[in-house]
Amino acid sequence: MTERSRLFEPVKLGDLELPNRVLMAPLTRNRALDDGTPARMAETYYSQRAAAGLIVTEATQISAMGKGYIKTPGIYDGKHVAAWRNITDAVHAAGGRIFVQLWHVGRISHTSLLPEGRNPVSSTDKAADASTYTENGFEPVSKPDALTEEGIRETIADYVTAAKAAKEAGFDGIEVHAANGYLLEQFLMDGVNDRTDAYGGSVENRMRILEEVLDAVSEVWPANRIGVRLSPLGQFNGVSDSDPATNYGYVVERLDKRGLGYLHMVEQAPGAETDATQADIMKRLRAKWSGFYIVNGGYDGDTAAKAVAEGHADAVAFGRPFIANPDLPQRLRSNAPLNEGDGSTYYGGGAEGYIDYPFLESGVPENVA
Ligand code: 8OZ
C-alpha cells in the first residue's frame, strides 16, 4: 500500500496553499430554490466539508438558458450572489477554499426549464439521446437550436457575468465545466458538433468557444484562479468523440499554454471500468499538461495516494465519498471506515442525506493541514 500520507502533503495551486490533496468534486444536489438561489442549508453542507484541500461547488448555471435540471443553483444575479456569499464566508470561516463550477448545459435541457419555454441551445440542432429532471420527472431532453455566432457571443458574455458574480460572491476561483456532455463538450466532441462555421469542423474550430470563454473570464480572474474540467472519454449525455487521444491531445496542449490554475480530468464515469487503451489515452493526455493536475473518477484512499506518489496527479477529487463523509480527509488519513451514501437523496430533497451524515467523532470540521 502506498503511504496515505502522500495525500496530506500541502501543495500550492497557483498562489493558493492547499493543506491536502483530497478535493471535493462538483456534485449536483438539486436543492436550490426555483430561481436558482442556493438553499440556506448549503452553508452547512459546504462548511461541513471545508477540510477538503479545495471544494469545487456543484455545477452552477451561468444564465437562465444554461439551466437543464430542476433546483440547480445559478450565479448570475444579485440573489444568487448574496446566498453564495454566505456560503463562501462559512467555508472560509471553517478554514476551507472554494471554487464555483460555471455551467451551461447546452442541449441537456427541456423547454419547461427555460425562459418563455424556449428551446435549449447547442452546437447542433440535433437532440441528445438523454433525459433530464423536470417538474414532471425524468423526461427526454428537448430538441435544441444551434447557436448562431451572435448567440455564441451572448453566451460568452454570460460567462463573464457569472465570473464577475463569482468574484462578488467571495469565491477563491472558478472552474469552467467543459465535461460530461454539456455545452462546451457539445462543441468539443466530433460526434455532436456538426457545424460548418468557425466553431465546427477541425478540433481547432471545435475548441474555439472554450478558448473564447477562457479569454473572456481571464479578464475577470487571474489565469491561476481558473480551472477547466474535461472528460475526454465521456459518453454521458449523448456525446462521443472519434479520436479522443488526438483531439484532446490538441485541446490539452492548447490549454496548457494558458497558465491556468488546474486541469480537472474526469477519467471515468462512476461505475465504468477503464480499459488498458483508455488508461493509456489518459496517461498520454496527462503527459501534455505541465500545471496542476486533478483527477476524478473511482479513486479510493489507496489508489489516490498512488496516483499522487507516482506523479500521475497533484490532487484527487472525490465525489460520492464526499457526499456521505463530510470529514473524508480525516477518514482517509486514519483509514477509518466510510459512511455509505444513500442514493435516494443524492438528487433533490431536504436536509436528510445532505447535512446529516455523521463525522467521525465531533460535529466540528477540523482542518487536516
Ligand atoms: C448528475 C446529475 C445532474 C448533473 C455533471 C452536472 O455530470 C452534472 C450532473 C451530474 O457534470
| 355 inside domain | no
112 touches 134 (CB < 8 A): yes
Q: Which of 273, 191, 204, 203 is nearest to 237 (CA)?
A: 191
Q: What is the total count of domains within the chain? A: 1
CATH of the domain at 189: 3.20.20.70
Pocket test for ligand 1, best of 180, 228, 268 (most atoms within 8 A of CB): 180
| Residue 226 confidence (pLDDT) | 99
Give the number of residues written for the chain.
369
Query: Would you say the CB of residue 357 lies under 6 angstroms from ligand 1?
Result: no
Mean pLDDT by 10 residues, the chain (369 residues): 88 98 98 98 98 99 98 98 98 98 98 98 98 95 98 98 99 98 98 98 98 98 98 95 98 98 88 83 97 96 96 97 98 96 98 98 50
Pocket test for ligand 1, best of 24, 28, 183 (most atoms within 8 A of CB): 28
| Residue 268 confidence (pLDDT) | 82
Strand-pairing partners, residue 18, are: 11
Q: Please name the residues in contact with 60: beta carbons below 8 A apart, sequence gap of 6 or more.
A: 72, 73, 74, 75, 100, 101, 102, 103, 162
CA-to-CA distance for 98 and 314, rounded, in angstroms?
17
| 357 inside domain | no
| 353 inside domain | no
Q: Which atom of ligand 1 is nearest to the CA of 177?
A: 11
Residue 324 in grid coordinates: 456521505
Nearest CA to ligand 1 atom 3: 28
Domain that holds residue 337: 5-345
Q: Which of 68, 190, 181, 192 is nearest to 124 (CA)?
A: 192
| 266 inside domain | yes
| 278 inside domain | yes
| Residue 271 confidence (pLDDT) | 62
CB-CB neighbours of 87 under 10 Å: 26
| Residue 364 confidence (pLDDT) | 45
266 touches 230 (CB < 8 A): yes
| 214 inside domain | yes
Is 159 considered catalytic here? no
Residue 341 in grid coordinates: 451514501
**Ligand 1 center to 27 CA (angstroms):** 7
**Ligand 1 center to 106 CA (angstroms):** 13
Strands 173-178 and 98-103, sheet pairing: parallel
| Residue 290 confidence (pLDDT) | 98
**Ligand 1 center to 109 CA (angstroms):** 12
The residue annotated as part of the active site, out of 46, 133, 182, 293, is 182
| 362 inside domain | no
| 58 inside domain | yes
